[in-house]
Structure 1
Amino acid sequence: MSGRAARGEHGPGVHPSQGHRRPLTRARGRAWLAGAGVLALAATIVGCGPRAVGTDQLGAGATPVGAGAVSESPRPATPSASPGAGVTSAPGPAVGDPPAALPGRGVPPAAAPQVTRSSTASAAPAPRPTATPGAPGAPGAGRVPGGLSGISAGSLSEVRAWEQFRGSPVDVIVTFSDRSGWAGITQPWLGTSAERFAGFTGIWVISQPFFPTDGGDIASCAAGAYDERWRQFGDWLVRQGRGASIVRPAWEFNGAWFPWSVSKDRTNWVPCFRQVVTSIRATAPQVRIDWTFNAHNTDAFEYYPGDEYVDIVGVDTYDQWPANKDEATFTAQCEQPTGLCAGIAFARKHGKQFSVPEWGLVGTSDTGASKVGQAGGDNPVYISMMHKTMYDNADILAYEAYFNDDLPNNVHSSLINPTTHPKGAALYAQLW
């Protein structure tokens, strides 16, 4: 989710956020110094929740990827994507987004390994930092959960403020191209100045549509009509010295709020994705492709483009649908067929890393979920459980980025500038 047009990230094509997150089961400043209550809560929570998957639960041929950085293991040669080629395994019947009567139409529960701790895990996580009840936690007193860690940002100033807030460096930024026309897609706004990350030493993650808002469709994309545009984008990455960047084509495709939603054209969606990836790689062979779905909707895994077209399995997830006020609720949502835990299990099964490109708290006013009591608000439990889930699966975590946003009609997830959620901000700064 993103509503950053005001900061130049993707022009007028702002997310419609109020219908953005839906349940699977029913219709669905420096305020970070921790008070004693938050710290006591941290001490109680840290150490529980979803656990790591062991190597004995990996799919055939899959191996864990080392923690701490995006994998640079050799990629199998990408086969030529035939324009108009259909999905190799037929998706289910076309249904609305999401059908309240069909919870979890993502992947049969038995098809994905559960995210649980195993004594045969390839590498045990390092000892977890713990909170001391009654003692203030300094920013950065904890550690990032693994992989690259950062923020969704539109300027270097935002990144520096986030680093100061949490006391640890940002080494990945999630960004969104200006999707109002092809010019903003093939030559994004990044790198035009220091403030726009020209000298940023970390990794760029660029979220890209299939086509601009001024015209295009999934069928034309599948037929190869936009291939040259995507080759131009790949060439731009290389010329910027960013050929190994991460690209998220058609992120959150399983929701209904974007023109590239799979619900718009179920037959041609996968062929389109393959065309885009093949074309970008033609000129930027080191680019990393993140196939990102939304955790709060159905219709994800049956539209997997194939291992040869995906490097990272991404999951965007927020504290809503339902509010995750305790460990049991968080775990139940995480283990839903398109929940974060299901995404991690799917990544393991396919020998991939996973990412959490967008995650955050959700305000209890001016949000779609809040109107029906499904927003978590200032919820340290969610912060702690997200850290634990990522920490326990750090061996395959490519990157994670908090979505710090307070624009109207969006998720209101902001931890700083402004501090919308002081308790959540305090625990985040302590753990990261």
Structure 2
Amino acid sequence: MSHRGRWLAGACASTVAVGLLVTGGALATPPQESSGGDPGTEVAVGAYLHYGSPGVERMQELSSWLGGTEVRAGHTYLPGDTWSNIEGAPDSLRSWARWRKARADRLFVLNVPMLERNEAGFPDDRVAELIRSGARGEYDHHFQRLAERLVALGVPDTVLVLGWEMNGFNYTHRCRPDPENWKKYWRRIVAAMRSVDGQRFRFDFAPNRGGDAIAWTRCYPGDDVVDVVGMDTYDQPPGHTFDEQVTQPYGLQQQVDFAKAHGKRISYPEWGLFRNGDNPEYMQRMLAWIAEHKPLYHSITDYCPHGVWQCSQNPNSAQVFREFLSSNEGHGSAFRLRP
């Protein structure tokens, strides 16, 4: 999905990066205070709308809509326009950090572009040049500054969705123009950020579902520099039905199998409705898939046309989402999935 669309999302709908704890078909255990949002197989659930401070403010509204379910994960994006923003300049990070630190069991998820002018539409040869520069270490200092800023803000355990949707055609940080140097570049970024004292970051490798511009397995940089295998997946082709989205090459099942083979948790940083409109069957099937496979977290894109909370064009899907994730008799973090 276009970051520009996320940047302007506030004009479309209302929610934001948020999350809750769920377990599939059973009551969740109470959160462990030192867990950083990852007690056992509990799942932090989110709904993205706004990258900035308004997102933090809207979390309680989503919680109320879900009948009092307590939000536990926040998800936002750094803009990819300039290096200074990739270094964490947006003041809204302070709001997110305050929210994260208010409870020990919360999870903060931050999408991080790998290159500035990330939506500039550069041709592949220019992208390849930039990737090679990154692989040589020319941009290490930008990511070290980001790491220092996150540690200073008190969020050293942030989950970093680095270079998301790298297997696609759109972003400057895409992998296809030079997969080998792209992997080297990822490794350099991780090394630069892990060099900062006090950090406990987790790095989330999150391609688009499907083959897209390149098989995402060709971009995987190595088990030592990846902590979570994510996937952005919307109700759209390739995969006209949910079963096809599961079984297609490089689809949902391959993600689960790949992560298991590499000893990693999975995640869904972006998912939601799209080409097929209001589709309650998709919503039910995706939530059931999440309940079965227990990702570290998932975050529905909650602005039109993808969303369910205040996107009025998807009322049937919204009802399914709300029934699945509503609080169990108002008990906050302990609630049931209702398949």
TM-score past 0.5 threshold: yes
Q: TM-score, normalised by structure 1?
A: 0.60
Q: Does 1:203 align with 2:79?
A: no
Q: 1:153 to 1:190 in 2, by over 3 A?
A: farther
* Mapping of residues 27-46 of structure 1, within 5 Å: none
List per-residue Cα deviations over 1:72-93 (Å, max 9, x = no partner): 9xxxxxxxxxxxxxxxxxxxxx
Equivalent position of 1:314 in the other structure: 230
Aligned-partner residue type, residue 306 of structure 1: G
Matches of 1:422 and 1:219, distance apart in 2: 47
* Mapping of residues 33-432 of structure 1, within 5 Å: 69-70=37-38, 146-154=42-50, 155-167=55-67, 168-189=69-90, 191=92, 194=95, 198-200=98-100, 201=103, 202-213=106-117, 217-283=130-196, 285-296=199-210, 297=212, 298-321=214-237, 324=240, 329-362=241-274, 375-394=275-294, 397-406=295-304, 412-432=305-325
Q: Is the 8 A contact 2:223 2:262 kept in 1?
A: yes
List per-residue Cα deviations over 1:276-325 (Å, max 9, x = no partner): 1111111153100000110032410122111000000000000010575x
Aligned-partner residue type, residue 70 of structure 1: D
Aligned-partner residue type, residue 179 of structure 1: G
Matches of 2:290 and 2:188, distance apart in 1: 31
How far 1:332 moved relative to its partner?
A: 2.4
Alignment root-mean-square deviation, CA: 2.7
Matches of 1:319 and 1:220, distance apart in 2: 36
Which stretch shifts more, 215-224 or 251-260?
A: 215-224
Aligned-partner residue type, residue 424 of structure 1: S
Q: TM-score, normalised by structure 2?
A: 0.76
Q: Is the 8 A contact 1:316 1:357 kept in 2?
A: yes
Partner SS, residue 162 of structure 1: helix
Partner SS, residue 236 of structure 2: coil
Q: Is the 8 A contact 1:323 1:376 kept in 2?
A: no
Matches of 1:71 and 1:166, distance apart in 2: 22
Identify the structure with bigger relative contact order (alpha carbons < 8 Å, sequence gap 6+).
Answer: 1
How far 1:222 moved relative to its partner?
A: 0.4
List per-residue Cα deviations over 1:394-420 (Å, max 9, x = no partner): 2xx2111111122xxxxx112122322
Q: Is the 8 A contact 1:68 1:398 kept in 2?
A: no
Partner SS, residue 243 of structure 1: coil
List per-residue Cα deviations over 1:236-273 (Å, max 9, x = no partner): 11101100000011100000010011122223110011
Q: Is the 8 A contact 2:280 2:320 kept in 1?
A: yes
Gaps of 5+ in 2: 15-23, 26-34, 121-126, 326-339
List per-residue Cα deviations over 1:67-119 (Å, max 9, x = no partner): 994379xxxxxxxxxxxxxxxxxxxxxxxxxxxxxxxxxxxxxxxxxxxxxxx
Higher helix share: 2
How far 1:149 moved relative to its partner?
A: 1.2
Gaps of 5+ in 1: 9-28, 31-45, 48-66, 73-144, 363-374, 407-411
Matches of 2:235 and 2:111, distance apart in 1: 22
Q: 1:241 to 1:68 in 2, by over 3 A?
A: closer
Q: Is the 8 A contact 2:180 2:219 kept in 1?
A: no
Matches of 2:161 and 2:89, distance apart in 1: 14
**Structure having the higher Rg:** 1
Q: 1:316 to 1:188 in 2, by over 3 A?
A: farther
Matches of 1:313 and 1:322, distance apart in 2: 20
Matches of 1:318 and 1:280, distance apart in 2: 30
Matches of 1:361 and 1:68, distance apart in 2: 29
Q: 1:422 to 1:205 in 2, by over 3 A?
A: same
Q: 1:340 to 1:71 in 2, by over 3 A?
A: farther
Partner SS, residue 309 of structure 2: coil
List per-residue Cα deviations over 1:372-399 (Å, max 9, x = no partner): xxx22111111111111111112xx211
Matches of 2:293 and 2:6, distance apart in 1: 30
Q: Is the 8 A contact 1:151 1:159 kept in 2?
A: no
Aligned-partner residue type, residue 309 of structure 1: V
Q: Is the 8 A contact 2:36 2:157 kept in 1?
A: no
Matches of 1:230 and 1:156, distance apart in 2: 24
Partner SS, residue 198 of structure 1: helix
Aligned-partner residue type, residue 209 of structure 1: P
Q: Is the 8 A contact 2:86 2:112 kept in 1?
A: yes
